[in-house]
Amino acid sequence: MGAMQRERGFAGKAWGMILAAALAGGLALQLAPPGVAADEPTPGAGITAPTQFPAVEPAPETATTTAPTAPLPAPTATATVTPGPQPTGAVPAPVTEPAIPVAAVPTGPAGEPDQTPAAAPEPLAVQGYVESGFVGKPFDEPIVISGGIAPYSVTVTDLPAGLTFNEASLRVTGTPSQAGNHQLTVEVTDSSEPAQTLSRQVAADITEYEPPRIELHTYTGQYPDAIVGLPYGQSIDVYTAAALPFTTSIVEGQLPPGLAWSNKSASGIPTTPGTYAFTVRASDQYGSSDASFSITVRASAPSAVGYVVPSAVLGEPYSAKIASVTGGVGPYEMWWGTPQHMAGSLTWHDPGPDGLTIDGNGFLNGTPTRAGTFSVYVKFRDAGLVEREIFWTTITVLETRPPAAQQPPAAQPPAAGEEPPATVLPAGEVQSTSDAELAATGLQTGTLTAHVWTAGGLLVSGVLIAVASHRSRKRAGTAGGPTA
């Protein structure tokens, strides 16, 4: 038994030494400085050192020069200059040979003379139109020529009556007296060798002149009313002959205080109630026209409210209050609209509750002809042209009228000898099958504490039994004693 214990002691020591060696090796690797493991081994046993070649010394500098790769022209014969006697101890001055003159000859590849021909001029071209002109108005437009080599020799024929061509300035000038789309014949010869020639038809559109036209695109063609303290802005549209550029200005009267004229618009925040008249003038380079307007500024604005309406039924008459307006100037106009979408030049609106309209009192009336749920905005306008959006809402039109709600039949008392029907509990409730009260854990009230004490007692009993068993084994070993 003693030998066995000694062997176990030795084995324990061996395992301890192995564990200590492993820990020491890991600690050494962890604490090693960076780069030690990557050092190259020095030549030693079994490793042959690389052969050392003798260092190559640079060659001594000499006074030689590298010959040019390209042949030089033969030098011009020059007289030999012999230096005269020099003073004792003086260093003779170097003799510089004269530079070899080389003729400047254009060369191509491999030193040969460049024989590339000069680039040919661009082809002649004439712009195919001149700007529009007007009967009885000054006309002065150029004939635009490109390509070739200037100067050009140009003739223009088939000119409209009243116009002439100036060859020196290449311009058509005068006052046309006949309307129409005229075709001018332009013939051009340039100065290149050989000369280029071109004959071309050029369009000249002569129309009757009309002065600028002023329009105001509103509900009545007049400026809408403004409200003191509220932002205001309204512009006019101006149309000119052949889209001529134009200017606008106020030439008579005045705008309401707080508003200013800019380009084509009266805008700002009005400050004083009243009605203000003014005259707008639009002018282009040939003439002008005037238009008179007025703006009424009111002290207060109309107000409106909107209401949610019940569902309508397809094909059935319908009427419900959807909005009301107070203040402003009656009568009022109301309507609904749907969201607008644009894709390039295409514009469309979402479908709406067709067949239903809003009257001046704010009632949505009519017989719907389209079923669905529609998102719409409701707007109004009063007699003073004050236009406002009231609100966004939803109008629903059902396909068919839903059936009337039915009440459940009254409960009948049980017949003689029958058990009353079981009570129906609300969803989520559980009816107890005994008189015991249930706790939140689902166990009967008072039983949870008993279960906890029982589990604790079993655990303590197990620990005591294990300790007693260990002591019994220890006493048994002591009584037996070690064997020889």
In terms of CATH architecture, what is 303-398?
A: Sandwich (2.60)
pLDDT digits (tens, 9 = 90+) for 57-109: 544 444 444 444 445 555 444 444 445 555 444 445 555 555 555 445 555 55
Contacts of 128 (CB under 8 A, 6+ apart): 200, 201, 202, 203
> Do 356 and 378 contact (CB within 8 A), yes or no?
no
Binned at pLDDT 50, 70 and 90, residue 120 comes out as confident
Contacts of 88 (CB under 8 A, 6+ apart): none
What's the whole-number mean pLDDT along residues 302-307?
A: 94
What does the CA dihedral 303, 308, 309, 311 come to, rounded to 10 degrees?
Answer: 150
Task: Tell me the CA end-to-end span of the chain in Å, nearest whole number.
Answer: 7
Residue at 286: amino acid letter: Y
CATH class of 125-207: mainly beta
What's the whole-number mean pLDDT along residues 291-298?
A: 95
Assign domain 213-298 to its CATH superfamily: Immunoglobulins (2.60.40.10)
> What are 115's two structure tokens?
């024989």
Question: Can you say whether the dihedral through the CA atoms of 396, 398, 401, 407 is positive or negative?
Answer: negative
> Do 302 and 331 contact (CB within 8 A), yes or no?
no
pLDDT digits (tens, 9 = 90+) for 344-385: 889 899 999 999 999 999 999 999 999 999 999 999 998 888
Contacts of 111 (CB under 8 A, 6+ apart): 70
Alpha-carbon span 206 to 203, nearest angstrom: 10
> Is the whole-model pTM more than 0.75?
no
> What's the burial of 474, exposed, middle or buried (CB within 10 Å: 0-12/13-18/19+)?
exposed
pLDDT digits (tens, 9 = 90+) for 188-201: 999 999 999 999 99
Contacts of 334 (CB under 8 A, 6+ apart): 323, 325, 358, 359, 360, 362, 378, 379, 380, 381, 390
What's the whole-number mean pLDDT along residues 11-16?
A: 57
pLDDT digits (tens, 9 = 90+) for 381-432: 988 888 889 999 999 999 999 887 766 665 566 566 555 555 444 444 444 4
Beta-strand pair 226-227/288-298: parallel
Q: What is the CA radius of gyration of the chain?
A: 56
pLDDT of residue 344: 85
Question: In degrees rounded to 5, what are phi and psi of residue 348?
Answer: -150, 160
pLDDT digits (tens, 9 = 90+) for 429-445: 444 444 444 444 444 55
> Do 389 and 377 contact (CB within 8 A), yes or no?
yes
The more confidently predicted of residues 265 and 439 is 265
Contacts of 213 (CB under 8 A, 6+ apart): 238, 239, 240, 282, 289
Return the DSSP state at 453.
H
Q: Which part of the chain has CATH 2.60.40.10?
A: 125-207, 213-298, 303-398
Is the per-residue pLDDT at 269 higher than 70? yes
Is the per-residue pLDDT at 130 higher than 70? yes
Alpha-carbon span 215 to 291, nearest angstrom: 9
